[in-house]
Amino acid sequence: MRRADCLRWWSLVLVLALAACSSDPKPAAQPQLATQAQNAETNGARRYAQGAYAAAAHHFAEALRLRLSLDDGDAAARNRLQLAHTLLALEQPQPALEQAMAVDTPALQVQTLLLQAQARLAMNRSADAHDVLVRAEAACASCPERGRLRLLQGRVAWAVGDMVTTIERGRAALPLLREQGEEREVANANRLLAAAQLRAGDPQNALASAQAALDMDRRLALPEKIARDWLLIGDIHRRAVARSEAAQAYRRAQSVAQAAGLSELARLAQQAMKETNP
């Protein structure tokens, strides 16, 4: 349809719609349970973005229960994946894997496989994670999840000590993740790159990658990630025998961790400072 014809068509539609406003009945309100399910999902997403993973898991579980009671299979599958992601964030990979394994919606196949691979990595089952990613690769010739796929392939390579492949996959993931607006994953990819570059004996590029992760995590306001970035920056400086810079980075990590109530990260930072300045 030509542009002029298209404009005339939509003008006609608008006129008819306005003319019918006074006589057409109002659309029926959404059923109460469906509204509750949507509210639970929305609240879960908001709490997840805030880093309140326990609260997010509660909301996603409630959304899943309501969608199952309404026989809404597609929405329930989405809620399962959301719950599985949250359980991973809570360091509960086995329940996360069980939730992901229960999703059989074709439209979510690649996302489901990637989440299964993440859970297996978290359980130190890198060979199993590799096998799952092979299946995901076959199903994702040009899908939007290619960036996360490359990042997970890099994490598998890291788990088996292959720094060359880790760096290669991490670099390949970055532009794909940026294209999709996956800012958290961009930071994760930079952090993985920094760790691999450090282990590969390239502290200069490692520091640039770690700084890029820190800048992103600051914009996203993620205290735990910020503290980990400073710990990594401290490790890079320590490898480069820059003790004063290392100690300063560890102090920043400790300060952030203590302010955010992250006691384990604060302890790691304090221990690193002692090792740097015995």
Domain ranges across the chain? 222-278
Average pLDDT per 10 consecutive residues for the chain, totaling 278 residues? 44 39 54 94 92 94 97 96 96 96 94 96 96 96 93 97 97 96 95 97 96 96 95 95 92 97 95 88
Q: What pLDDT shows up at residue 15?
A: 36
CATH of domain 222-278: 1.25.40
Q: What pLDDT shows up at residue 16?
A: 37
CA atoms of 263 and 269, how far apart (whole Å): 10
Q: What pLDDT shows up at residue 29?
A: 63
Q: What pLDDT shows up at residue 25?
A: 52
